[in-house]
Amino acid sequence: MIRKRFTRFVLSYVLVGLIVAIAVVWLAPEILDQRRPVVRVDQSNGVSTSTEASAERPFSYADAIDRAAPSVVNIYTATRSPDPRNVLFDDPLFDQLFGSTDAVPDPALDTSLGSGVLVGNAGHLLTNNHVIQGAEQIQIMLADGRTIPARLVGSDPESDLAVLKADTNELPHITLAPTEGLRVGDVVFAIGNPFGVGQTVTQGIISALGRSELGLNTFENFIQTDAAINPGNSGGALVNARGEVIGINTAIFSQSGGSMGIGFAIPARLAQKVLTGIIENGRVIRGWIGVQIQDVADITRGVFVAGVLPGGPADEAGLQRGDFITHINEQRVQSVRHLLSEVTEQAPNTQVLLTGERDQKSLTWQIRVAERPTNLSQDGPQSPPQR
């Protein structure tokens, strides 16, 4: 009797186990699959997706440089040096005493180098005025090694920019990018030909924006960068991380002549205005009223009129030395640079309204803007900036 009960007990549990096993196999077979996952290894065919590529190599700005570098050229110039001969050589008595001086060599051609940026499909280049100033011969070398002649279309010493033209078809070129969104800390690259070693790329960031009062040019609104800029980089491109040209490299602050991490570039916005003006008019047309002005410690008083050009627009409107200008077209004047910029933006023959004071009395002057003469500072002739 006991054996029958034991057998029934065992069979009942076996039956329950079978029912549970069948249920598991039927409803949850993955519980029984304890095998290790199979890892499939495919042989690479040399082509990887962008995700795979980013995992296989470090981050790079090579694509940005590839977009901009072909449009940056090396510029070689030849300038006639002063006649090295002594003036006595031209005296007829000298010929009688020592014979003919025809063997004395002609003045030599001094060579120099710089950089430039091809900015249009018509073969126009932007560079610095000081790179090509006085040049009798200009040659450009493209990134692919071709060397072709170029000629000067026009220059603007007050912004230190010049436009060249290479009369060759199918040249690489790039457009100038808007610069309104630039921020301090943006990654930038300087592309040029430092010391004549060939096209070189250096990396840095934007260190400051709107730099002025440096005494380099009349119109200063520089992008400051710590990307290495050296002699020969002048006229080359300052490029952002997307490969867009945001400036034209123009100067360095240096006590040794080499890069010290303080370089300056002309913003693309100003460069575009100069480029358009020279191509369309042969010169840059700016407004001018004929005053010499100075900043004052009390900004609420505007700027001080230190001199008025006789017969100029300001003189005809009644401005006098000793006046203060506080507003232009109802906009408060912040500084000499601010007023200079506002005036030069005006087209010749337009009217501007100046507000200010004389002997603590408020006055207004209606002035007809004239075209700014070439090679002027705010108040008169200006010698070329020293570099």
pLDDT of residue 49: 46
The SS3 assignment for 29 reads helix
Bridge partners (DSSP) listed for residue 292: 307
Indicate if 379 belongs to the active site.
no
Indicate if 256 belongs to the active site.
no
CA dist., res. 145 & res. 158, Å (int): 32
The SS3 assignment for 292 reads strand
Indicate if 212 belongs to the active site.
no
Write down the catalytic residue from 71, 112, 130, 207: 130
CA dist., res. 264 & res. 25, Å (int): 76
Q: Digits of tens for pLDDT over the chain (387 positions)?
A: 555 665 666 566 656 666 666 665 565 555 555 544 443 434 434 444 444 544 565 688 999 999 999 999 999 988 876 655 555 455 555 455 445 555 444 556 667 789 999 998 889 999 999 999 988 889 999 988 889 999 999 999 989 999 999 988 789 999 898 878 899 999 999 999 998 888 999 999 999 998 877 777 777 889 999 999 988 899 999 999 999 999 999 987 766 666 677 899 999 999 999 999 999 999 999 999 999 999 888 878 889 999 999 999 999 999 999 999 999 999 999 888 889 889 998 999 999 999 999 998 999 999 999 998 876 644 433 333 322
**Residues 265 and 350 sit within 8 Å (Cβ to Cβ):** no
Alpha helix (H) residue ranges in 200-287:
268-281
pLDDT of residue 205: 95
Lookup: tokens for 137? 């011969």
Which residues neighbour 157 within 8 Å (Cβ) at sequence distance 6 or greater? 129, 133, 374, 375, 384
Measured CA distances, 284 to 15, 124, 248, 278 (Å): 102, 16, 17, 6
CA atoms within 13 A on the CB side of 147: 6
Write down the catalytic residue from 71, 155, 207, 234: 234
Which residues neighbour 305 within 8 Å (Cβ) at sequence distance 6 or greater? 291, 292, 293, 314, 319, 320, 321, 322, 323, 324, 325
CA dist., res. 33 & res. 30, Å (int): 5
CA dist., res. 362 & res. 336, Å (int): 20
At 221, the amino acid letter reads N
Return the residue matching tokens 């912004």.
159
* Residue 378 φ then ψ, to 5°: -65, -20
**HEC string for 249-264:** EEEECCCCCCCCCCEE
Neighbouring CB atoms inside 10 A of 296's CB total 14
- DSSP 8-class letter at 296: -
Which residues neighbour 117 within 8 Å (Cβ) at sequence distance 6 or greater? 71, 72, 73, 125, 126, 127, 174, 235, 236, 237, 245, 248
- Dihedral angle computed from the Cα positions of residues 267, 271, 274 and 277, in that order, rounded to the nearest 10 degrees: -120
**Residues 217 and 162 sit within 8 Å (Cβ to Cβ):** no
Domains and CATH numbers, the chain: 56-284 (2.40.10.120), 287-371 (2.30.42.10)
Write down the catalytic residue from 112, 159, 160, 226: 160
CA atoms within 13 A on the CB side of 310: 0
* Residue 264 φ then ψ, to 5°: -130, 140
CA dist., res. 338 & res. 326, Å (int): 11
pTM for this entry:
0.71
| Length of the chain (residues) | 387
Measured CA distances, 241 to 66, 182, 195, 206, 227 (Å): 11, 11, 25, 12, 13
**Residues 330 and 342 sit within 8 Å (Cβ to Cβ):** no
Are β-strands 263-267 and 245-252 bridged in parallel, bridged antiparallel, or unpaired? Answer: antiparallel
Which residues neighbour 50 within 8 Å (Cβ) at sequence distance 6 or greater? none
